[in-house]
Structure 1
C-alpha cells in the first residue's frame, strides 16, 4: 500500500462547533462534504474520542466554518490540537448564532453553514454525521484553506484523531524506500549512521510547525521539567509543545 496516495485526495479545513447545556465545543476537521442538493445536506466525520462528539449528538446541531487560506497557525493549533475539555477555545474568537443556535466561528472564515443533525453512521473509529443545512452565508471572497496547502506550508501531518491521520513512521519508511537505491554498500550505511550521530549531538533548535514555538536544547523547557542541555531527540516520547500542545512529530529542525 502506498500511504502517500491518500495525500492526493482533496480536502478543505473547517472549524466544526456546537453547544449543549451552555458548554461550547469545537475542533478543526478536514472531512466535510455536501451529500445532497435538495434538501441541502452536509456530512462530517468525527473521531469517537473527540470531546466534541458527545455534544454534537446531544445537541443535534453543529456549525461548519470554512477557514481562509491565511488562517493563523495558532487558531488551528487551539482548535485542532487542544481539547475542549482542557480549555475554552472560543475565548479569543468571534462567534455568532443562526437558526440552530450552534456557535459559528467567523474569525478567519470565508463562509459558514448552520446544520441540524438528521442521522449518524458508525464507521469504526469515527462517526459519519449527516446534517441538514438550515442557514449559511459567505463572509469573504478570499480563497479557502485546503488540506494540501496546509500540509505543504506547515510541513506537518493531521492530528491523531483526524480521519486522514497516517503515522509519521509509515510515511518516513515509504520515503526512504523511494529515495534509496536498490543496493546500498556498507560504507554508505556507516556514513548515514555517522551523520545521524552527529545530528543527535548538534544541539540544533526545533520549531513547532503549528504555533512557531522554538525548542532550544541549551535552554530546555522548564515548564515541562526539561533541564537545560537536553537534546530534542532525548525528550520524552510524550513531550508536548508548551504553547499549542502539539506532539514531537510536529517539530521541524531549524
Structure 2
C-alpha cells in the first residue's frame, strides 16, 4: 500500500468547537463534509483521544469554522497541537454564539456552521459525528484553506490524532513520481557549501525561532547546541510541534 496516495485526497482545514458546563473546547480538523442536503447535515471525524470529542458528544452541539487560506498560524499551533487541559485556546480570539450556544470562531475564517449532533458512529480510532446545520454564515470572500496548500506551504505533517496521520518513516520510504521529485528539487534553495551547523530554525506552526547560540533554557537545552543535536523528541516550546515542523532559516 502506498501511503502517499492518501495525500491525493482533497480536504479543507476547519476549526471545530463546542461548549460544556461553561467551558469551551476546540480543535483543528481536516475531515469535515456535507453528507445530506435535506436536512443539511455535516459530518466530522474526531479522534477518541481528543479532549473535545466527548465534550461534543455530551453537549450535542458543535460549530465548524472554515479557515481562510492565509490563516493566522497561531490558531493552527494552539488548536491543532495543544490541549484544552493545558491552555485556554479561546483567550485571544473572537467568538460568537448562534442557535445551539456552541462557540463560533470568527478569526481567520471565511464561513461558519452551527450544528446540533444527531448521530455518532464508532469507526475505530475516531468517532464520526454527524450534525444537522441549524445556522450558518459567510464572513469573507477570501479563499478557504485547503489541506494540500497547508501541507505544501508549511511542509506539514498531520497531527498524530488526525484521521489522515501517517508515520513519517512510512512516507520517507516511498518514492515520489519522477516529475514530482524534479519539481521539489527545483523549489529547494541552494545551500552554501561553506555554511556551518549553527543555523537558526523556525517553527512553521507558530513562528518560534530556535537560535543555537541561545539554546532553549525553557526546555533544558544549553547555549551552543546545534539544531541537529537536539533530542529527537524535542518540542517547540510555544506550540508543542515536533522537530519535523522546523525549517532552516
Same-fold call, TM cutoff 0.5: yes
Aligned length: 235
Tell me the distance in 2 between the aligned counterparts of 1:209 and 1:101. Answer: 33
2:42 aligned with 1:42, yes or no?
yes
Tell me the distance in 1 between the aligned counterparts of 2:174 and 2:198. Answer: 27
Tell me the distance in 2 between the aligned counterparts of 1:103 and 1:149. Answer: 27
* Stretch deviating more after TM superposition (226-235 or 4-13): 226-235
User: Which runs of 5 or more residues in structure 2 are unaligned?
Assistant: 180-193
Tell me the distance in 1 between the aligned counterparts of 2:223 and 2:202. Answer: 17
Tell me the distance in 1 between the aligned counterparts of 2:231 and 2:112. Answer: 40
Tell me the distance in 2 between the aligned counterparts of 1:238 and 1:250. Answer: 12
Q: How much does 1:178 deviate?
A: 6.9
2:225 aligned with 1:219, yes or no?
no
TM-score, normalised by the number of residues in structure 2: 0.90
Q: How much does 1:175 deviate?
A: 3.9
Divergent runs of 4+, >6 A? 176-179
Tell me the distance in 1 between the aligned counterparts of 2:95 and 2:84. Answer: 16
| Partner residue, 2:133 | 133
* Stretch deviating more after TM superposition (221-230 or 9-18): 221-230
| Partner residue, 1:80 | 80
| Partner residue, 1:228 | 223
| Partner residue, 2:97 | 97
Q: How much does 1:205 deviate?
A: 2.1
Helix, strand or coil at the partner of 1:69 = coil
Tell me the distance in 1 between the aligned counterparts of 2:161 and 2:134. Answer: 27
Tell me the distance in 2 between the aligned counterparts of 1:168 and 1:175. Answer: 13
Helix, strand or coil at the partner of 1:101 = coil
Helix, strand or coil at the partner of 1:133 = strand
Q: How much does 1:21 deviate?
A: 0.2
CA RMSD of superposed structures (Å): 1.8
2:37 aligned with 1:59, yes or no?
no
Tell me the distance in 1 between the aligned counterparts of 2:228 and 2:60. Answer: 45
User: Which runs of 5 or more residues in structure 1 are unaligned?
Assistant: 180-197
Q: How much does 1:214 deviate?
A: 1.6
Helix, strand or coil at the partner of 2:55 = helix
